[in-house]
Amino acid sequence: MKTLTTCIALLALAVIPARAEFEPEPVGIVEGIDANYPPHWIMVRDFSFFHMLEGKVLVIDPLGETLGDQYKGMMTASFIAGYARSASRNEMYVIEGFFSRGGRGGERTEVVAIYDPATLNVTAEVEIPPKRITGMPKSMMNSLIGGDRFLGVYNFTPAQSVSIVDLQTRAFVGEVNTPGCGFVIPNGERSFTSICSNGSLLTSHLNEDGTLKDTTKTDILFDPQNDPIFETPAILDGVAYFPTFSGQILPLDVSGETVSAGATWSLATNDEEATWRPGGMNLIMVDSAGVGYVLMHPEGGEGTHKNGGGEVWVYDFAAGERKARIELKNWGLSLGHSGTGDQRYMFVTNPDMAIDMYSLPDGEYIKTLNTGAVTPFMVEGAQ
């Protein structure tokens, strides 16, 4: 039998080259992507928590039916990297760190890697001080400032500051000290605001070249010990909506050069909901139609603020009104969204580290994406 099989195989080999139409396949082909990613595509940020030097940002078409259709490519993102995208420049930024001796340390280098969306190649690198904060990621650890002109990167040594990168000249501008305050919340024409440990806010105003012009500071706006605001707001029409641990929303007007607080309001709408709390990683968001969403869990209390939730509550943030409650198919730990018009989607990272996809705003479950990401703590729209 083995001899017969061998004979057939040899016969086949002898026949194939004789076919006139046969042409060898070329070697060395590398795929590209249309640089204008559709709005429903998502960027899956895999922080690779168990192998922190091997993180990734995946480019995924969630509507793709096959595995090949879904996965468009990836960028490497080392050491709990940050990520940002400029719409006007149509380029992407990975803020990442390297060690000269890999897992055992050595000299640390931090860079802003600038990516071409069509090739997923690094087109330039800007070195920044090796002070970037690392740990569990929060979206406001880096932000675009002044339109898309500057990128601010939160430093923690534990002295706190923000590295400013000029994205137009692709150069490091300098550090802005933010003593006692952290994060980069863009406001006004060319300013950014940091949250201070005493419950006030520090706003740093930049000159046209990205250097510090001056600063302003608010009064104490919230209780940072007994009912702190989460680090990440949802921003809509110049207002940053910050949830608090107890389930209030603190609106901050960030449209101007100085920030101001509006009246707080409660996420709960009746007494039965009084013990529900917001919780999770990226736990609040606004979709492209301006609809707000908050990840909520029942029986909340001290220490439950990272629990995630079994429901997503839907809001008109500007009016302070809840519109609906979405019961999730699986427990959720982090929220993301993509799409426009009738094609809006929510992505919920679940405890299995898979990503559940829902339609918005109705919250109908569509499917679960298994992207291969080990710890996809954040999902963002590609645009």
Partner 1 sequence: MNWLDKLTERSTRNIAQRSSRRGFLGLLGATLAGTAGLPLLPVARASSAGAGPEVPPQSTGNPDDPGDPTQCDYWRYCGIDGFLCSCCGGTQNSCPPGTEMSPLTWVGTCRNPADGLNYVISYNDCCGKSSCGRCICNRNEDDRPVYRPAANNDIDWCIGTTTNVYNCSTAVILGLATE
Residue numbers of the site for partner 1 (CB under 8 A)?
49-53, 80, 97, 99, 102-106, 108, 133-136, 138, 156-158, 181-183, 194-197, 224-225, 228-231, 281, 299, 301-308, 310, 331, 333, 351-353, 374-375
Q: How far is the CB of 76 from partner 1 (least distance, A)?
A: 16
Residue 346 to residue 326: CA distance in whole angstroms: 11
Residue 164 to residue 171: CA distance in whole angstroms: 9
- For partner 1, the closer of residues 2 and 104 by Cβ is 104
Residue 247 to residue 249: CA distance in whole angstroms: 7
- For partner 1, the closer of residues 88 and 157 by Cβ is 157
Residue 344 to residue 159: CA distance in whole angstroms: 41
Q: Order of strands, edge to edge, in the sheet holding 122-128?
A: 82-86, 91-99, 108-115, 122-128
- For partner 1, the closer of residues 62 and 308 by Cβ is 308
- For partner 1, the closer of residues 161 and 383 by Cβ is 161
| H or E, element range at 381 | strand 376-381
- For partner 1, the closer of residues 17 and 102 by Cβ is 102
Q: How far is the CB of 182 from partner 1 (least distance, A)?
A: 5
Q: How far is the CB of 136 from partner 1 (least distance, A)?
A: 4
Q: Which residue has the tokens 């919340």?
A: 185
Parallel, antiparallel or unpaired: strands 376-381 and 248-253 = unpaired
Q: How far is the CB of 80 from partner 1 (least distance, A)?
A: 7
Burial annotation 259-290 (CB, 10 A radius, 16+ → b, else e): beeeebbebbeeeebeebbbbbbbbbbbbbee
Q: How far is the CB of 309 from partner 1 (least distance, A)?
A: 9
Q: How far is the CB of 298 from partner 1 (least distance, A)?
A: 8
- For partner 1, the closer of residues 100 and 207 by Cβ is 100
| Amino acid at position 71, single letter | Y
